[in-house]
A = this chain, B = another copy of it.
Amino acid sequence: SRSINLAVIPGDGIGQEVVAEGLKVLSAVLPQDVKLETEEYDFGARRYHATGETLTDADLDALKRHDAILLGAIGDPSVPSGVLERGFLLKLRFAFDHHVNLRPSKLLPGVATPLAGEPEIDFVVVREGTEGPYTGNGGTIRKGTEHEVATEVSVNTAFGVERVVRDAFARAQARPRKKLALIHKNNVLTFAGHLWTNIFNKVAEEFPEVTTEYMHVDAATIYLVTQPERFDVIVTDNLFGDIVTDLAAAVSGGIGVAASGNINPSGEFPSMFEPVHGSAPDIAGQGKADPTATVLSVALLLRHLGYEAEAARIDEAVAADLSERTGKPARSTSEIGDALAVRVAG
């Protein structure tokens, strides 16, 4: 009999609320014969304030034993900026070698977009997750003085770039339109830019059916608002990926519906699934958060573990739910979760 052994990290703010709904829908969609085991971890601001710890070696050992991780959101204004991001979120992505950060953007029928007209948006961003300016390399001298110098070092390796570029080409190859865009800034960041561009062009030779294009990150932001239908698969570095996926989320229905997977394709470590949004402390505890992004992250999680039919059922339930929202009164977090659970079970 099959089983899923899931680590659950509700985290801070609305993380608690949205993860509860994600689990509700997960339970509802799974067939009877699949045994779902969940273990909850209390990472985030409370634990940091109580113990000073963000993520210990023992924590990593414990997490490692799970099939996958579902995360709500981490971050709170009471913790200095960077402490939980670097000490937990990025530490985990790096420790578990989550080098494929997968962020689909699909504007579903009936969903509002800030863009005029009715753009067709259906693309996926493959963001590198373990290199670039996110490595924490760099430092500060003469801190706090008028002679302070602070550096940030973007580290890019052929190994790291090639594996994520290959992953993106394979995804493009498997999609009907078979298009892949590389986003970088190779006219200014020439060292990293040439590495990315050369590897991209080399791997492209192995995928003759995939149509490729290159664009600078600044130009990409223009296309994302003027011609979002242009994109099918995008591959890009860690920082550019962070920026363009928030913009992509904004134009394709908002961060209320933006899901993501931090994937370790080899399976050596569990992959982690989380909504793109943060902990939103301003609306936490009020039942106002939209759990849809978390529910869609659960679909990515199921797809990653091989439960394609169940993932598709969630996607369909969300599409149906979203298409019926216009003009209706706002529902609470758990009402939306309930509605989705009913749909996926039905």
**Residues on A facing B (Cβ under 8 Å):** 75, 81-82, 85-86, 90, 113-116, 133-134, 136-140, 142, 144-159, 162, 185-195, 197-198, 217-219, 221-222, 225-226, 239, 242-247, 249-251, 254-255
From residue A114, how far is it (CB to closest CB) to chain B in Å? 5
From residue A149, how far is it (CB to closest CB) to chain B in Å? 5
Do A222 and B188 have beta carbons less than 8 Å apart? Answer: no
Do A151 and B114 have beta carbons less than 8 Å apart? Answer: no
Do A152 and B82 have beta carbons less than 8 Å apart? Answer: no
Do B247 and A225 have beta carbons less than 8 Å apart? Answer: yes
Chain B residues with CB under 8 A of A244: 221
Bound: A152/B134 CA distance, A? 12
Do A85 and B243 have beta carbons less than 8 Å apart? Answer: no
Given contact pairs A145-B158, A149-B156, A221-B250, a sample of 13 additional A-B residue pairs in the complex whose CB atoms are under 8 Å apart = A81-B190, A81-B197, A82-B186, A133-B152, A133-B154, A136-B190, A138-B192, A139-B191, A150-B192, A154-B154, A221-B243, A225-B247, A247-B247
Chain B residues with CB under 8 A of A113: 116
Do B152 and A158 have beta carbons less than 8 Å apart? Answer: no
Chain B residues with CB under 8 A of A115: 114-116, 225
Smallest Cβ-Cβ distance to A198: which chain B residue:
B144
From residue A15, how far is it (CB to closest CB) to chain B in Å? 16
From residue A151, how far is it (CB to closest CB) to chain B in Å? 5
Q: Which of B134, B137, B155 contacts A188 (CB 8 A)?
A: B134
Bound: A154/B225 CA distance, A? 28
Do B153 and A194 have beta carbons less than 8 Å apart? Answer: no
Bound: A306/B159 CA distance, A? 54
Q: Which of B162, B197, B226, B255 contacts A250 (CB 8 A)?
A: B226
Bound: A144/B154 CA distance, A? 18
Do A191 and B138 have beta carbons less than 8 Å apart? Answer: yes
Bound: A188/B88 CA distance, A? 11
Smallest Cβ-Cβ distance to A140: which chain B residue:
B191
Q: Which of B136, B189, B217 contacts A152 (CB 8 A)?
A: B189
From residue A170, how far is it (CB to closest CB) to chain B in Å? 19
Do A81 and B133 have beta carbons less than 8 Å apart? Answer: no
Do A82 and B156 have beta carbons less than 8 Å apart? Answer: no
Chain B residues with CB under 8 A of A146: 158-159, 162
Q: Which of B114, B137, B157, B188 contacts A226 (CB 8 A)?
A: B114
Do B152 and A191 have beta carbons less than 8 Å apart? Answer: yes
From residue A37, how far is it (CB to closest CB) to chain B in Å? 33
